[in-house]
Chains A and B, each alone.
Chain A
């Protein structure tokens, strides 16, 4: 059944049949540890948490406090949350939600990127006004919170000053697009790497509820210039708008005039040094480092869980 959640629609399996299936699967699997994502949304995740007899690591992604499932009306849900041996949050804002609304805490481990794949290209150079500059948007085209609307409203103003601006949107969904905007549809990782590598500017005009900007990080690794809305998770990554050492331009959420000003600013004064620093910052989100911390959490969870099978299978 489709359930609207956090501004997008998720297909949900939730019911006695799924519960029995999850329980059986967990029994038969003889797992040492289970890692559940978004454990308290009504989904397979919650069913797994309720059924789990082994140590549980849970990752919290959402930075939205206002979802119905998070209201801890029932003691059963509270008891389920107590079963989590180790919580992981993908960002500080996601952790805040865990602390304030679940009364638990979580280790902040960001999502990882394959840094080397994205960092193959040289840093985006300085486009001159005669050349084409390429602006890229990546995200679902038909989902309002991804903010494509804001970008489309901003582009005409940018194109007055820069008629050669090329706008490329890549992502699921379809919607009518103006003639100057090219849509690539859904793209795979290789295409994404190539697209970001060829771009001058990556724009993240998201409107809300983005707990962690994975594409933003990939763009940072690619060495493109970055313009993003001032969502807390983006500001966490890029630095405050007044900060001299910020890694990208930040504009107020939903403000298409500010967006066009920011893009023009970046086009007129490209800053390869900033892009280099952004790439350096993205390096610490490489899976090699992120994975080490995830393994440390697994070890800690195994050693605090009742069975006490410390470090089994984790070298």
Chain B
């Protein structure tokens, strides 16, 4: 091969490599940005849930002790600038409390139920977006070439929630029994990549 041919082949290889790397970088960027937006959506949904709960127990006919408990828990979840761990704990506490008091808030509990369903949906989508972003960011190429730039690594949001709010529970369990409280474990957590993900060449 002449020098010219070698040069041409090298140029082609380099162009292909750059194209592929920029494609990957674009995916990393897109996934990270989506995880951030998903967090805003989840944040808004959680705030909506806490506010709606606090608002509902102010209505007449609610047992004062229940109202006090729910208002306190909602206020704890609404404290601004909580760190992630504190926020997770406060929101979980609110979930548990709402499971317990749900039958005692007869009026408008469907409003609360839809807020809870919204929070639950947003949380799952958020954690899904985070898992996607993390699995991309942990790729060898991405780490070596620092394709993620200086963006902060997204983190899943773990909290207890009732699955009854979203889907029908198992037919034999009465609503809002402890059996309805879903474990706060996210099945496809970022620390345990899904099958087929581990040996992924990048």
A and B physically associate = yes
Residue ranges of A at the interface with B (Cβ–Cβ < 8 Å): 72, 79, 82, 85-87, 99-110, 236-239, 243, 245-247, 277-278, 281, 284-285, 292-293, 296-297, 299-301, 303-306, 308
Q: Specify which chain A residues have a CB less than 8 angstroms from the CB of B172 in the assembled complex.
A: 239, 243, 245-246
CB of B195 within 8 A of chain A? Answer: yes
Q: Specify which chain A residues have a CB less than 8 angstroms from the CB of B183 in the assembled complex.
A: none
Interface readout for B150-186 with A: 1 if CB under 8 Å, 0 if not?
0000000000000000111011100000000000001
Q: Specify which chain A residues have a CB less than 8 angstroms from the CB of B96 in the assembled complex.
A: none
Contact partner of B194 (CB less than 8 A), chosen from A99, A243, A277, A301, is A99
Q: A237 to B168, alpha carbons, bound, how many Å? A: 9
Residue ranges of B at the interface with A (Cβ–Cβ < 8 Å): 23, 27, 30-31, 33-34, 37-38, 40-41, 44-45, 114, 117-118, 121-122, 124-125, 127-129, 131-132, 135-136, 166-168, 170-172, 186-188, 193-197
Q: How far is the CB of A245 from chain B (nearest CB, A)?
A: 4
Residue of B with least CB distance to A299: B118
B194–A284 touching, CB < 8 Å: no
A-B contact pairs, 14 of them (CB 8 A): A87-B128, A99-B187, A103-B194, A103-B197, A104-B131, A108-B167, A109-B166, A109-B167, A243-B172, A247-B171, A300-B38, A300-B122, A303-B44, A305-B37
Residue of B with least CB distance to A238: B171
Q: Specify which chain B residues have a CB less than 8 angstroms from the CB of A72 in the assembled complex.
A: 196
Tally of A-B Cβ pairs under 8 angstroms: 109
B188–A105 touching, CB < 8 Å: yes
A281–B168 touching, CB < 8 Å: yes
A304–B37 touching, CB < 8 Å: yes
Q: A246 to B172, alpha carbons, bound, how many Å? A: 7
Residue of B with least CB distance to A65: B195
- Knowing that A99-B188, A106-B128, A303-B40 are A-B contacts, what are 10 other residue pairs whose CB atoms are under 8 Å apart, sorted by A's residue number? A100-B195, A102-B194, A105-B131, A105-B187, A106-B124, A107-B121, A109-B166, A285-B168, A297-B121, A308-B37
Q: A238 to B186, alpha carbons, bound, how many Å? A: 26
Q: How far is the CB of A85 from chain B (nearest CB, A)?
A: 7
Q: A60 to B197, alpha carbons, bound, how many Å? A: 20
Q: A121 to B80, alpha carbons, bound, how many Å? A: 54
B40–A108 touching, CB < 8 Å: no
Q: A250 to B79, alpha carbons, bound, how many Å? A: 50
Q: How far is the CB of A79 from chain B (nearest CB, A)?
A: 6
Q: Known contacts A107-B166, A246-B172: does B196 contact A296 (CB below 8 Å)?
A: no
Q: A86 to B127, alpha carbons, bound, how many Å? A: 11
Q: Specify which chain B residues have a CB less than 8 angstroms from the CB of A306 in the assembled complex.
A: 30, 33-34, 37
Q: Specify which chain A residues have a CB less than 8 angstroms from the CB of B44 in the assembled complex.
A: 303
Q: How far is the CB of A219 from chain B (nearest CB, A)?
A: 14
Q: How far is the CB of A77 from chain B (nearest CB, A)?
A: 12
Q: Known contacts A105-B131, A304-B41: does B114 contact A239 (CB below 8 Å)?
A: no
